[in-house]
Each structure stands twice: as C-alpha cells, then as structure tokens.
Chain A
C-alpha cells in the first residue's frame, strides 16, 4: 500500500544527544514536510522540501536539520541545540500542483520524542 512511514514511533533521548527521525514515502510525491506538535497545540512547520536536493526552513527550524537526497526520503535530525525537543513529530507529503496551491497532505503516524 502507498503511504508514509515514520520511524521510530517512540524515542527516548538523553540531553545533549542528536537523534534522527526517519520519514519514507512511496507516493511519488515531490514535496515533503516536517511539523512539530506539542500537547494541546497546533502543528508548527520545521522544514519543507519541494524537490530533491532542495529544502527550506519553516517557522521553527532552529536546532533541527534535514536532508533530501532521495525523492522518497526526508529525515529530520533533532540536534542538541534544540532547547526543548520533547514533542510529537509529524512528516507529511503532497504532490505538486500549480495555480491552486498544494494538494492534500498525507501524514505519517508520527514519532514521539522524549528527552530525559
């Protein structure tokens, strides 16, 4: 089945450690996104990528890094510079459309990161 796979689902990390969250899609979508969600809060955009080897900062990129070496993969690294990394991280993808903006976002099931 086509979809987006995020791993791991749950992750615990000690302070000062970097951690990488995986996001893979087999929907042949060009655009991919990373959002952060805190309890009872909305989704805030961390990074997004429109095409392979290209990505842009979202609204809260500090302390995060990404790469887009393959169309189907968009990993997110939460670095030790991120001061409050405990959160629910959601990856999404969409096909590119012109004139009408983006198509619907398809989300993975999320990765819940806890910093101990």
Chain B
C-alpha cells in the first residue's frame, strides 16, 4: 500500500534558524496537504498544493510539490517559538482521491 515518509523525524533548532522537512510518497499523489499539530492538539490544515512543481508561500513558510508529484517540502525561514509542533504531509493516492494517507511527521522544537 501507499507509504508516506518524512525526514527528519525530529529537529531541534535555535530560534532564528531555518527549518526544512521533506515528504516522500511511494505512489503518485493527486495533491499534497500540510498540517501542523501543536502538542496535545489536533492537526490543523496549513496548505494544499495541486500542480506538479507548484510553490506556495505563507509568510515565513514555503511549500513545494515535486515535479513527479511524489515528494514535497516545507521550509520555515527564521523559526520562532510559535513554530513548535509536529508537521505532517498528507495526500490521496492518484485515482484514490478519498483515501488520505498521512506522513510520519517531523517534530520541530525551537530553542529560544
């Protein structure tokens, strides 16, 4: 079945440093979504990318969708303590658009 892996599993950064998490799917995705889960909370939607090679920005966050629609990345510039949490990618397999598989997640810790 479809597998979605993320690296790294954990990342500790000093406040102000940049952070990147990578997402790789074993199958082609219809789209890719990114979520953030704060400790003790539930995942909250950040963004969705649909087109091959698409790049979107939200303030300090930059999201990319790979040309083959099998990988994606999230980059945070100049991290802040409010960025702490676990970041998940998620996506439906192409052709199976209702089954949404989540990545393994990257837990970000920001040291003030």
Contacts and interface: CB of A to CB of B under 8 A. Distances in A.
A76 interface: no
B30 interface: yes
A97 B92 CA distance: 12
A14 B56 CA distance: 48
Interface in A51-101: 56, 58-59, 90, 94, 96-98, 100-101
Given A42-B102, A50-B98, A105 B33 contact: yes
B3 to A, nearest CB: 9
Main secondary structure of the interface of A (DSSP, over half): loop
Given A101-B30, A107-B44, A42 B98 contact: no
B31 A110 contact: no
A104 interface: yes
Q: Looking at chain A, what size class is its interface with the partner chain?
A: 20 to 34
A100 B92 CA distance: 10
A103 B103 CA distance: 17
Given A59-B1, A105-B43, A42 B104 contact: yes
Nearest to B6: A42
B105 interface: yes
A105 B45 contact: yes
Nearest to A110: B42
28 contacts: A33-B100, A40-B107, A41-B105, A42-B88, A42-B102, A42-B103, A42-B105, A43-B43, A45-B100, A48-B99, A50-B98, A59-B101, A94-B100, A96-B98, A97-B97, A100-B30, A101-B30, A101-B50, A101-B92, A102-B30, A102-B92, A102-B97, A104-B45, A105-B33, A105-B35, A105-B90, A109-B41, A110-B42
